[in-house]
Structures are given as structure tokens and as C-alpha cells.
């Protein structure tokens, strides 16, 4: 059946659109009897509110966009669920855009989303400089996750990445390792930078000298992990190590493949601590000791921050929320000595 408009309903009932609108939206100043007549007509004539018209009038679409680099990563899925849990009871809908890790696509989506008049944005950017997003910061609230660009006064929700590295390094040292390599992301963005800091601090705290050649830089992809690990393995005579800490899931997988390819056993020959490794089926063996982020909680915090920004009761303290990571013990680290 064709759906009808407020005007249609008003005509059928010999009322004004204003009155029907009030009834529909449960506003006051509608006689009980009138309200009932309207409610009945709504059913009868199949009224479906037009959210587009509503948005135009109210200048709010009740829509929150999430831009992320790869929708296939379960990590982001959990975050989205976490956000949704908080904002959907308030009538907000989430729309997701996948950039395929491509900064140009980010630019494209940013533009489209502004045209669609989203109310707010949650952004996991791959653009370290943040130059693309700058011009939108005044158009709608933006909350960064995962990767925080170097811009002053922005909102973000992440784990304490330095602390994460500290946990990994401390754990390895505790297990008796002292020659600890690391495969890390670009230090040009805050995430990579903080993870590196934590690693350095960890060594320092235990009076271990840093060997710069044991620090390899990748770009979070599996190939990078492979390449970095390969590099480490090849330099092994000059720069020996017994353990490696890899700072992303994909790089962890790549690193493990390199180990295999070079016939190195894990953990017998090399111990490994990964990052974000999600082994939902617990089928990987040996199971991997890994740093984990509280995805759901990240999503929840983002949702709460979002609501605060959208309420606009504007206590505009920029919120750099840091959550605690955890270390999940597997069998990929060998105790030595």
C-alpha cells in the first residue's frame, strides 16, 4: 500500500497538519480524542514518517558516520557494536564507510558525509597528518579512534599505547628475555609513536641498552610484518634477539610466516608477543600471546563522548580518553634461563 503523508492524514481527518504532527510526535496540546483518531488513521492509511523532511527542517539527521580503513577487521566491528549500543537508544543511526586504507577515499567520504549532513563522525584514519579532516572539524564533532593524527584539541578514544608496549616488554623480560626486537608502525602518528616510547621505556627500566637495529618499521600490513621479520632474521648474527614484539595483528601474522619460512620455531627459537590477535576459534597453535584492546569498551566510550558532544551542553574540554589494554597469555613465549 502506498504510504501517506501528514497532509494526507490531515485531509482525511479534517484536521491541520500541525495537529496531526503534534499527535504523531506525542507532543502536548492535543485533545485525547483527537490523538486517538489520528493514531488510528496512521495505521489505516499507512503513514511512514519521512525522516528526510524531518532532517531538513530540524537540521539534524540523527546519523553518526564511522569511517574506517577495513570493515573486514573484527576489531572495528566490535567497536561499532559498542558505539551502537550507546547511541541507538537515543535515536541515532550509524553509517559505515570503508576506505580500503586509502587516504584519497577518506577525502571522498568526508565530502559525501558532509553533504549528507551527518551529525557526527567517528574516524579511524590512515592519514597521519590529519590534513584531510581539518576542514571538517568545525562542521561536526569528530572523534578519532585507533590512529590519532597530530592535531591539537581533538577528541579521541584509544588504549594507552605506551602502557601496552610496557606490558609486552615487561612480560618478555619477566620471562627472561633481554634481546627483544620490535616491529612497529610509523612513529609519525601518535599510535606508533606511543608504542615505540613504551618499548624504549620498558628496556630502559630494566637497564637494557637499545639496539636501533632491533627496531623495524612497517605500515601495519601483513607484508610489512613479513618484511620486517625477514630483516631481523637476516641481521641476526650481528644483532641477535630471542624475542620479538609485533604491534599489529596483520604484522603479527606476517612475522609468524617469516619465522616459518626461515625454519625458526615459535617459541623454541623465537618468542613472540603480538597485538590485537583475535583467534576467535582458538585454533592457532601454538596460541599467540598478545596485547588486546577492549574494543567493546572503546565503542562505549566513543558513544558516550558522542552523546555529550551532540547534546551540545558544550563543556568543550577535548576528551583524550585512554583505556587500559590487556595481555592475553598464549604459548608463543618461552621462559629462558
The residue ranges that bind its own copies (CB under 8 A) are 1, 3, 48-53, 55-56, 61, 70-74, 77-78, 80-81, 84, 93-98, 100, 112, 114-117, 138-139, 222, 253, 256-257, 280-285
| Binding segment toward DNA, per CB under 7 A, in 5-13, 126-134, 150-158, 167-175 | 5-13
Q: Minimum CB separation from DNA for residue 117, in Å?
A: 9
Nearest to 321 by CA among 151, 98, 146: 146
Q: Which is nearer to its own copies, 100 or 336 (CB)?
A: 100
Q: Looking only at residues 43 through 82 of this chain, which bind DNA when binding is defined by CB under 7 A?
A: 47, 49-50, 53-54, 56-59
Nearest to 8 by CA among 50, 36, 52, 41: 41
2 binds DNA (CB under 7 A): no
Quote the Cα angle for 211-212-218, to 5°.
130
Nearest to 159 by CA among 5, 10, 291, 8: 291
Q: Minimum CB separation from DNA for residue 50, in Å?
A: 3
DSSP, collapsed to helix, strand or coil, labels residue 95 as: strand
Quote the Cα angle for 277-245-298, to 5°.
45
Nearest to 123 by CA among 160, 79, 78: 79
DSSP, collapsed to helix, strand or coil, labels residue 65 as: strand
337 binds, among DNA, its own copies, none (CB under 5 to 8 A by kind): none
Task: Kindly state the cell numbers that stand for 232.
Answer: 631481523
DSSP, collapsed to helix, strand or coil, labels residue 99 as: coil
Rounded to an integer, what distance in angstroms lies between the CA atom of residue 205 and that of residue 217? 23
Q: Which is nearer to its own copies, 48 or 238 (CB)?
A: 48
| Binding segment toward DNA, per CB under 7 A, in 9-17, 79-87, 94-102, 312-320 | 9-17
DSSP, collapsed to helix, strand or coil, labels residue 71 as: coil
Q: Which is nearer to DNA, 47 or 75 (CB)?
A: 47
Which letter does DSSP use for residue 280 in this model?
T
29 binds, among its own copies, DNA, none (CB under 5 to 8 A by kind): DNA
DSSP, collapsed to helix, strand or coil, labels residue 300 as: helix
Q: Which is nearer to its own copies, 155 or 222 (CB)?
A: 222
Rounded to an integer, what distance in angstroms lies between the CA atom of residue 11 and that of residue 20? 10
42 binds, among its own copies, DNA, none (CB under 5 to 8 A by kind): none
Q: Minimum CB separation from DNA for residue 135, in Å?
A: 18
Beta 326-328 vs 289-292: how paired, if at all? Answer: antiparallel
Q: Minimum CB separation from DNA for residue 34, in Å?
A: 4
Number of residues that bind DNA (CB under 7 A): 30
Q: Looking only at residues 282 through 301 of this chain, which bind DNA when binding is defined by CB under 7 A?
A: none
Binding site for DNA (CB under 7 A): 5-7, 14-19, 21-22, 24-25, 28-35, 47, 49-50, 53-54, 56-59
Amino acid at each position: 500500500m502506498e504510504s501517506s503523508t501528514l497532509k494526507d492524514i490531515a485531509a482525511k481527518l479534517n484536521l491541520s497538519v500541525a495537529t496531526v504532527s503534534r499527535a504523531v510526535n506525542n507532543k502536548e496540546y492535543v485533545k485525547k480524542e483527537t490523538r486517538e483518531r489520528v493514531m488510528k488513521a496512521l495505521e489505516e492509511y499507512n503513514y511512514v514518517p519521512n525522516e528526510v523532511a524531518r532532517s531538513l527542517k530540524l537540521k539534524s539527521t540523527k546519523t553518526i558516520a564511522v569511517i574506517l580503513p577495513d570493515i573486514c577487521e573484527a576489531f572495528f566491528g566490535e567497536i561499532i557494536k559498542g558505539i551502537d549500543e550507546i547511541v541507538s537508544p537515543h535515536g541515532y543511526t550509524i553509517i559505515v564507510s570503508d576506505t580500503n586504507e586509502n587516504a584519497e577515499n577518506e577525502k571522498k567520504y568526508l565530502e559525501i558525509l558532509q553533504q549528507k549532513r551527518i551529525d557526527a563522525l567517528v574516524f579511524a584514519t590512515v592519514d597521519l597528518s590529519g590534513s584531510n579532516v581539518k576542514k571538517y572539524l568545525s562542521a561536526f564533532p569528530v572523534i578519532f579512534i585507533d590512529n590519532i593524527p597530530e592535531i591539537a584539541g581533538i577528541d579521541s578514544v584509544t588504549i594507552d599505547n605506551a602502557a601496552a608496549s610496557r606490558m609486552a616488554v615487561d612480560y618478555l623480560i619477566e620471562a627472561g628475555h633481554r634481546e627483544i626486537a620490535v616491529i612497529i608502525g610509523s612513529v609519525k602518528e601518535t599510535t606508533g609513536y606511543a608504542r615505540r616510547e613504551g618499548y624504549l621505556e620498558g628496556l630502559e627500566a630494566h637497564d637494557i641498552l637499545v639496539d636501533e637495529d632491533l627496531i623495524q618499521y612497517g605500515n601495519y600490513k601483513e607484508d610489512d610484518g613479513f618484511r620486517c621479520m625477514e630483516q631481523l632474521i637476516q641481521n641476526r648474527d650481528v644483532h641477535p634477539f630471542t624475542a620479538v614484539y609485533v604491534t599489529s595483528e596483520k604484522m603479527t601474522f606476517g612475522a609468524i610466516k617469516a619465522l616459518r619460512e626461515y625454519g625458526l620455531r615459535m617459541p623454541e627459537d623465537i618468542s613472540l608477543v603480538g597485538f590485537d590477535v583475535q583467534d576467535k576459534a582458538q585454533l592457532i597453535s601454538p596460541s599467540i600471546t598478545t596485547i588486546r584492546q577492549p574494543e567493546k569498551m572503546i565503542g562505549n566510550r566513543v558513544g558516550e563522548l558522542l552523546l555529550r558532544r551532540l547534546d551540545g551542553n558544550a563543556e568543550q574540554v577535548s576528551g583524550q580518553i585512554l583505556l587500559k589494554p590487556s595481555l592475553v597469555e598464549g604459548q608463543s613465549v618461552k621462559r629462558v634461563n
